Amino acid sequence: MDNFWKISRTPGRLGIDYDETPFFHPRDPINPMNDSHDADESGRPSWPVGGPHWRRRDSCRLCDSEQVEMVAALRPTLLPERYVDSPDDTSASERYPVDLYMCRSCGHVQLLDVIDPSCLWSGYTYHSAQNQSTLDHFEEVAERVVTGFGQSRGMAVDIGSNDGSLLRCFQRRGLTALGIDPAEEIAARAMSAGVETIPQVVSLELAQRIRRDRGPAAVVTAFNVFAHTDDMAEMAASIHALLADDGLFVFEVSYLLDIVEKFLLGTIFHEHLCHHSLIPLEQFLRRHGMEIIDVDRVDVQGGSLVGVAQRSGGPRPIAATVAALREQELKRELNQPAGVRAFGDQLQRLQRSTSELVADWRARGASIAGYGAARSGPTLLAQFDLGGVIECIFDDHFQKVNKFTNGDRIPVVPTDELLRRQPDYVFILAWIHATPIIQKNLEYLRRGGRFVVCCPEVRVIDLEEASRL
């Protein structure tokens, strides 16, 4: 953490310096975000942002090149998972940039604006065991690693191990398990469930100590955390240090091709610093003594990539899936700015469409709510300017219900309030669960309500439309 502030925040080719920009509450009538958003001289929209817990890097996170270029401008966003007890609590009200940049040298797409990790991970509420589909997916991954790749003995180390759900799958197949996760409360839950967990951020020093004390790892996993660190080189070095000569590194990341083609806007928020694709990842891992030997596209989180890597020159051949996906990315120009700019263009189009709909509904006096206090919620609220529009959010999470969102101060109420309140329109903020949410609440639609889904297209869903889902 001592090195967090060492990267300069000075303006230049990447855009303006936001440090002195004032912050406005979205319900403030003088808030510039309520008006048209002019661009500054750099071409970047001049929305207000601010806050003491962020910095901007000026080089690519994978190859350290300074040839980085903005490919999609987004509205600054509140930090997720910051729920307050009172509507008068103005803490954690700062908005931070989530613009997408591409490295012209290696093609990696990333956020350059970095939030202090201690702000991101305090009060973390997600538990892997909350979702049965996640647990089923973990079982499939563990079975493939143990049976398909023959890693049936030794130690499995999971980086960002959460509540230990993935590691328990390996335990059931005969491997010993060790988790690494900086969220102390969740790490304690894993420990109580029988999964030894070190409550720290992974580092080269920690990896070397584990190897010295416990021996090398047969399997190292990093599921949906291999995009969460600003120091990717340190993480890669840590993984390499942990791996046995015949060990496997298995990772899952939100996949850039799916983000662009399916317009997965909800995957873009502050903790997702990297939006990975195969070509830059191959180059990056090669520089750190590893090689990707297999890839698989899965439907997790709307579209993810599961990769398998080994130490360079390891015992396993490289599967044909790697060359096939590399060729697909080249055809799609996914490593070129033009291949990603369409994402920003679509966002602007959907913002206009949503704004027109909301203006019409409000002119007619319609009530508008949200469903799902998800981590992606602040992204959708900000990008579609819904913070001052939504009257409440329906959710049953015990750490969120009967509280208020930070910044926008929207009350979170139990889902059984939906039929009692019967709002005219409900935006689904837990976008990945849109279909089950709709199917679970058909009575709301029978009574005349409408659900609204913003991605990949704006859709207003009534009972007839729901029957076709």
- Residues forming CATH 3.40.50.150 domain(s) in the chain: 128-332
Q: How far, in Å, CA of 402 to CA of 110, rounded?
A: 35
Q: How far, in Å, CA of 25 to CA of 267, rounded?
A: 24
Q: Letter for the amino acid at 275?
A: H
Closest residue by Cα to residue 196 from 141, 158, 244: 158
Segment (H or E) for 341: helix 337-363
Count CB neighbours of 317 within 10 A.
8
Contact yes or no for 84/404 (Cβ under 8 A): yes
- At 23 the pLDDT is 30
129: three-class secondary structure by DSSP: helix
Query: Could you give the dihedral angle defined by the CA atoms of residues 183, 186, 190 and 196, in that order, rounded to the nearest 10 degrees?
Result: 20
Contact yes or no for 158/221 (Cβ under 8 A): yes
- At 435 the pLDDT is 94
Q: How far, in Å, CA of 183 to CA of 206, rounded?
A: 16
Record the tokens describing residue 131, joined without a space. 């979702």
Q: Letter for the amino acid at 209?
A: R
Degrees to nearest 5, angle at CA 348 with 326 and 117: 65
Q: How far, in Å, CA of 228 to CA of 244, rounded?
A: 24
305: three-class secondary structure by DSSP: strand
Q: Letter for the amino acid at 196?
A: E
Buried b (16+ CB within 10 A) or exposed e, 158-173: bbbbbbbbbbbbbbeb
What do you get for the CA distance between the two ends of the chain, in Å? Answer: 47
* Average pLDDT, 10 consecutive residues per value, the chain (469 residues): 32 31 30 37 40 84 97 94 90 91 98 85 58 90 96 96 95 97 86 93 96 98 91 97 98 96 94 96 98 96 95 97 98 94 95 97 98 92 96 94 94 97 97 93 97 95 92
- At 51 the pLDDT is 56
Q: How far, in Å, CA of 348 to CA of 362, rounded?
A: 21
pTM of the model: 0.85
Count CB neighbours of 324 within 10 A.
10
CATH code for residues 365-466: 3.40.50.720
Record the tokens describing residue 163, joined without a space. 């509540």
- Residues forming CATH 3.40.50.720 domain(s) in the chain: 365-466
- At 150 the pLDDT is 94
Q: Note the maximum CA span of the chain.
A: 68
Assess whether the previous peptide bond of 456 is cis (omega < 30° from 0): yes
**Where are the strands (E) in 53-185, listed by range?**
54-56, 68-72, 77-78, 83-84, 95-96, 100-103, 109-110, 113-115, 155-159, 176-180
DSSP symbols for 183-230: -HHHHHHHHHTT--EE-S---HHHHHHHHHHH--EEEEEEES-TTS-S
Strands 450-453 and 425-428, sheet pairing: parallel
Contact yes or no for 231/288 (Cβ under 8 A): no
Q: Which CATH architecture has domain 128-332?
A: 3-Layer(aba) Sandwich (3.40)
Q: Letter for the amino acid at 74?
A: L
Q: Letter for the amino acid at 30?
A: I
Q: Letter for the amino acid at 154?
A: G
